[in-house]
Structure 1
Amino acid sequence: MLFVGVALLGLFGACMADSVAVEGVLTCDGRPASGVLVKLYEKDTLLDDKLASGKSDSQGRFRLQGSQSEFGGIKTKFNVYHKCGTLPFTRRFIPTCTFKASFDIPSRYVAGGNSPRETYNAQTLELLSSHQGH
């Protein structure tokens, strides 16, 4: 009976929440990229789980945090959905046409519990080069 209790405790411990936070600044051709959608994900084999989403402010700054319970811990990334580098005609008449840039978050920024201990600083990300192969 003690073995079952210890085994269950270990199983629940392996599924405790992990948390992560990310921040950065988005620019488009060197200027702040405001209103850009950013989503934080926990990476899975089939479908990724969205942990949080938000938009960059007038200075291009963003900050997201989220937590998830996953057996064996979580691996995380954030995606940026933007229109930097598209023609004005495309932005106006094809509003669903966006570029997606994906960035992995190093595992050392994932912390046990519901609150991250340290925020991953993605620094300044230039969106114009994120889809031009630079």
Structure 2
Amino acid sequence: MMKVVAILAVLAVLGAEGFRQQTVGIRGRLMCGDKPLPETQIKLWNKNKLGTDDQLAAGKTDSHGNFEFSGGVGSLFDMNVHFKIYHDCDDGIKPCQRKVDLKIPEQYVTRTSEVKKWFEAGTMNMEFVFPDEERSCIN
């Protein structure tokens, strides 16, 4: 009976370890040409292999276009983190917003509850047209 209890305890610890917290963080600055891109919507998403995707963080750039976001989930599978930017830079009078979806490299995801290694996005000029860019009216 003691062996069964010990085995169950080990399995419980191993199972909990598999679902431990994963965290990611990104920071940088958004520009539109030579002007900061303030109040720009940013979201961090975990694209899941199974089930629905998880929103890890959301917010807006500050008045200087700066941002710093982090988030995470407890998961058995490694996170597949995407950084999404919704903006109107160099957009004229077109409806909705330009949507850019960029993947954060896996080495910036840590299996901890705190960010250990920030992804430094640097200064990004959103005049650039990104591959696979879309338009989004709901963000």
Shorter chain as denominator, the TM-score bin is 0.7 to 0.9
User: Any gaps of 5 or more consecutive residues in structure 2?
Assistant: 133-139
Mark the CA change 1:83 to 1:132 in structure 2 (over 3 Å): closer, same or farther: farther
Larger Rg over CA atoms: 2
Report the 3-state secondary structure (helix = DSSP H, G, I; strand = E; otherwise coil) of the residue aligned with 2:101. Answer: strand
> 1:100-111 maps to which residues of 2 (within 5 A)?
100-111=99-110
Mark the CA change 1:24 to 1:33 in structure 2 (over 3 Å): closer, same or farther: same
Residue 127 of structure 2: aligned partner: 128
Q: Is 1:77 matched with 2:82?
A: yes
Give the structure with the higher percent helix: 1
With the length of structure 1 as denominator, give the TM-score of the two structures. 0.85
Q: Distance in 2 between matches of 1:116 and 1:51?
A: 13
Report the aligned-residue RMSD: 1.8
With the length of structure 2 as denominator, give the TM-score of the two structures. 0.82
CA shift at 1:132, angstroms?
7.5
Structure 2 residue corresponding to 1:10, chosen from 14, 17, 20: 14
Q: Distance in 1 between matches of 2:81 and 2:131?
A: 24
Q: Distance in 2 between matches of 1:122 and 1:48?
A: 23
Q: Distance in 1 between matches of 2:39 and 2:48?
A: 27
Q: Give per-residue Cα distances to partners, 1:10-30, cap 9 Å, x unaligned.
A: 111010111111001101123
User: Any gaps of 5 or more consecutive residues in structure 1?
Assistant: none
Aligned residues: 127
Q: Is 1:19 matched with 2:23?
A: yes
- The answer to whether the Cα contact below 8 Å between 1:14 and 1:73 also exists between their aligned partners in 2 is no
CA shift at 1:113, angstroms?
2.1
Q: Is 1:68 matched with 2:73?
A: yes
- Work out the percentage of aligned pairs sharing the same amino acid: 25
Q: Distance in 1 between matches of 2:129 and 2:7?
A: 52
Residue 117 of structure 2: aligned partner: 118
